[in-house]
Amino acid sequence: MPKHIAVLPCDGAGKEVVPEAIKVLRAAGADFEFEEFDVNADSYLRTGVAMPDDVWKQLAAADSILFGAVGDPRVPDANYLAGVLLRLRFELDLYVNLRPAKLYDDRLSPLRREDRRHADLLIVRENTEGLYVGMGGRFKKGTNDEIATQEDLNTYLGVTRIIEHAFQIGKREVVMVDKSNAMTFAGGLWQERWKAVAAAHPKVKTRHLLVDAAAMQLVKDPSQFDVIVTGNLFGDILSDLTAELVGGMGIAPSANINPSSGRGLFEPVHGTAPDIAGKGLVNPVGAILSAAMMVRHLGVPEMADAIEGAVESAIRARECTRDIGGELSTSQAGDAVVKRLRD
Ligand code: NAI
Ligand code: MG
């Protein structure tokens, strides 16, 4: 039976890059049945509903979800984003967010020191808790006495399972990143769970870094890192930084998965890129590499390797979009990857 893939291009750049990812999956010979859903800002504006119930049911039942990006200047980000992407992450309990950063060509590094440019690391971001759960409130709103709170939710289960997952992947070293010197309650729980889980994996080297030091070390020498495990907010921020170390937002992929249920949502890290969307300028590589992560998750690692290899070779040949030094349009860049898969 072919795997059933729910496709949600959503808005802006998402609408341009997702078709390229599908094109590459088909060329790679993936036995998938794609079903596209009309979840986007236009339908939200028309109906007032971010995601209709019947669509939700079908997404929840799909083998995997291939996602573009959500966001539109005409709709307030918070409600719409929460109703689509955060809802999928939270309600499908996609608690692992994998964000790899690999330098495919030396020229894509912004770092001056050649000996420290090499990057092939993975950020394992907690994806269902932390500061993104939407708990808190605004008191005396709109007055000079206003008080705003934003709760940082951390559970024993949530912290334990994400650290455990990092150890399932980490071969060389697992680095845990928090801000436990200043955020002592949440940091205290992370520290305790970190030490307990690390003790159960004595063969893997471990290191702890405060998030500010981690940001500094990532820029100083990314080659030192293998797997970094961290909370929702820090993972979000550090993964934009690591994306920029290997070529920018256009090429960064991500996977949102639940290793127990097998559910997964795969999406480029970037948003809808309103500054360049709709002109054939957006880079499809982030979406294509996310599709490769989906294939790997669905149990076909050779196909994932083939897609990644084709992307790497296209990038090295400068058969890519402008943001990474080529001259091709979005769909030509997709074709360049397809051509290498067929060679
Ligand atoms: P963004 O990721 O859309 O853009 C940031 C910068 O990266 C821009 O200069 C853009 O041109 C560039 N960029 C992004 N994707 C690119 C690609 N494929 N190729 C080449 N360059 C690319 O982030 P921004 O501007 O902060 O947000 C725009 C909208 O996207 C907002 O509505 C935001 O809420 C939404 N957003 C959605 C996300 C999602 O669906 N997961 C993630 C981040 C933002
Ligand atoms: Mg982000």
The catalytic position among 44, 80, 95, 132 is: 132
Query: What is the DSSP annotation of 18-66?
Result: HHHHHHHHHHTT--EEEEE---SHHHHHHHS-SS-HHHHHHHHHSSEEE
Same fold, 1-93+261-343 and 110-245: yes
Can you give the pLDDT at residue 325? 97
| Residue 31 known to be catalytic | no
pLDDT means per 10 residues, the chain with 343 residues, are: 96 98 97 96 92 94 97 84 90 97 97 95 98 95 98 98 97 96 97 98 97 98 98 97 97 98 97 96 98 97 98 98 98 98 87
Q: Where are the domains of the chain?
A: 1-93+261-343, 110-245
- Closest ligand 1 atom, residue 282 Cα: 19
| Residue 240 known to be catalytic | yes
Q: Which ligand has its closest atom nearest to the C-alpha of 256?
A: 1
Cα dihedral value 113, 115, 116, 120, nearest 10 = 140
Can you give the pLDDT at residue 79? 81
Can you give the pLDDT at residue 78? 76
- Looking at domain 1-93+261-343, what is its CATH homologous superfamily? Isopropylmalate Dehydrogenase (3.40.718.10)
Give the closest residue to 66 by CA, choosing from 3, 21, 124.
21
Can you give the pLDDT at residue 285? 98
Tokens of 195: 């030490």
Can you give the pLDDT at residue 76? 78
CATH class of the domain at 110-245 = alpha beta
